[in-house]
A = this chain, B = another copy of it.
Amino acid sequence: MGLHTRIDSAVERAIALGQGGAAPARLASALHYACTPGGARIRPTILVSVAMACGDDRPGLADAAAAALELIHCASLVHDDLPCFDDAEIRRGKPAVHRAYSQPLAVLAGDSLIILAFDVLARAAHAAPERAIELIRLLARQTGMPHGICAGQGWESEDKIDLGAYHRSKTGALFIAATQMGAVAAGQEAEPWYELGARIGEAFQVADDLRDALCSQEELGKPAGQDDLHGRPNAVSLLGVDGAVKRLKDILGGAIASIPSCPGEAQLAQMVTAYADRLTPAAVKARV
């Protein structure tokens, strides 16, 4: 089974847990809608790649961690798309959840996916309760307040933004969760894997800024030019396109250098490189 199939199947199993029994049908349907089509599933792919690089001795726990992380990511997209935030019409090439269903169901779908993420980890705990508890703590830390993606969004309501904290929370947090949870699912310490996650997160932010500035809505599957529109800080406006591309390369070099010593170290470096290539917009590749 390929990595992509493994992850998609873990996510599908997780969603099915939230749909069982006599559930209200529209909300049950919204849970699935919010998480599909899967797209790249970048965060869980990094998570499982790290787990595999560390030996992956509890694959069921790594699967649960990957699914939990993706559910949290999808929940954050559903809530970020709400009219009171980005008011996005389109996500992944189809109507955003609040457009396809309703605002109440979008709020509830996000809430339900967050709760399901923690439930999935607790259900997988029997094999290794201590690891599961640490996975829950890592996921909570990178998702909620004071340091997770909720905090990242929260910074947008402040008059004075702490830009470092803002980016680390808003984009970096779930990548840090990805590398640390992958390591912990496979029985390793979380701390040495922080830097890899943080650097991949920075790279993703710069690549996202480049795509937002250079790509069309069709290429993105969501509205383009949003950073300019909302006056959000952006690497392209700060450094220019060429400066942002150089910064992206530097960060990825640092990411690879930061990989802790482990059995699958070389393969993991390859994954980061392949992932960097995938991140880079065609318009940038044509330019350099």
Contact of A144 among B101, B112, B133, B144 (CB under 8 A): B112
Residues in B neighbouring A158, C-beta threshold 8 A: 24-26
Query: Is the Cβ of A146 less than 8 Å from the Cβ of B115?
Result: no
Query: Is the Cβ of B140 less than 8 Å from the Cβ of A122?
Result: yes
Contact flag A108-B150 (CB < 8 Å), given A119-B136, A140-B122: yes
Within 8 A of B (CB), among A124-152: 125, 129-130, 132-133, 136-137, 140-141, 143-148, 150-151
* A125 CA / B15 CA spacing, docked (Å): 26
**Interface size grouping (class) on chain A:** 35 or more
Interface string of A9-47 (1 = CB under 8 A from B): 000000000111111111110010000000000000000
User: How far in angstroms is the closest Cβ of chain B from A25?
Assistant: 7
* A111 CA / B188 CA spacing, docked (Å): 29
Query: Is the Cβ of B18 less than 8 Å from the Cβ of A111?
Result: no
State whether the Cβ of A6 lies closer than 8 Å to any Cβ in chain B.
no
State whether the Cβ of A60 lies closer than 8 Å to any Cβ in chain B.
no
Contact flag A144-B130 (CB < 8 Å), given A82-B107, A104-B156, A154-B24: no
Task: Describe A's contact surface by its main secondary structure.
Answer: helix
User: How far in angstroms is the closest Cβ of chain B from A227?
Assistant: 17
* A28 CA / B31 CA spacing, docked (Å): 28
Interface string of A93-121 (1 = CB under 8 A from B): 00000000111110110111011101101
Contact of A114 among B26, B105, B114 (CB under 8 A): B114
* A191 CA / B19 CA spacing, docked (Å): 22
Other than A112-B150, A115-B144, A115-B148, give 11 A-B pairs with Cβ distance below 8 A.
Answer: A22-B162, A27-B151, A28-B154, A82-B107, A104-B157, A107-B107, A112-B151, A115-B145, A121-B136, A122-B133, A123-B137
